[in-house]
Amino acid sequence: LQWGGLLEQNVQPLPLRTVVNRNIVTPRSGSLSSSNNSCRIDRVIVEHRRVQLERIHRASSHPNSPAGILNIWPLQVLFHNISWYLAYEEWHMGQEHGLIRTERLDRLSWVKEDDRFRRNEEAHYRSLQRMERLLKVCGGIFFGENLQAQLDLASATPARQSKHLQNTLRISCQEWS
């Protein structure tokens, strides 16, 4: 077929450029990425409820990935590169702030919703703001393993931020590049 023939048949030619950025991860049965759990996680985020999740044992992990039961405050569902991730704040008894982490939805399974614990709008919003600042500063969705460093980086005080931003990055490459 020639282009003229396509246009006469009212068939639109394919665009020269397109964005192909979609979820390439197949949802695991029983994980948060499955359709029956996606509504649950959305609801607990909106209601600011604490939940217990578990990392799926057969899912791939990174060296510092948390294991076992996670007591968390879910913050937001993010799409990054190839999949959907849950951004959450860890909860530990007696601590005002927890480490903010992200984990792919297909690597987490639902344990239970803790109906007794719901945090107020202001505390939830402050954690969301901290996560947003970390997203801007960190250049990705891994925010490190140090709570104090996260708090300093997300601080509005430039002096607290600067002590973590003054590292030297050394790049080694071949001469031709």
Kindly report, residue by residue over 28-54, the tens digit of the pLDDT.
Answer: 777 888 777 778 899 999 999 999 999
State pLDDT tens for residues 93-150. Answer: 888 899 999 998 989 999 998 878 899 999 999 999 999 999 988 888 998 899 988 9
Measured from the Cβ of residue 101, the count of other Cβ atoms closer than 10 Å reads 24
| Rounded Cα–Cα distance for residues 170 and 157 (Å) | 27
pLDDT at 1: 43
pLDDT at 95: 87
State pLDDT tens for residues 48-93. Answer: 999 999 988 766 666 677 778 999 999 999 988 888 899 999 998 8
| Rounded Cα–Cα distance for residues 80 and 60 (Å) | 17
Q: For the chain, how far is it from start to end, CA to CA, in angstroms?
A: 44
Is the CA virtual torsion 67, 69, 75, 77 positive or negative? positive
Amino acid making up residue 172: S
Give strand pairing partners of 78: 85
pTM, entire model: 0.74
CB 132 within 8 A of CB 82: no
Amino acid making up residue 90: E
| Rounded Cα–Cα distance for residues 76 and 166 (Å) | 29
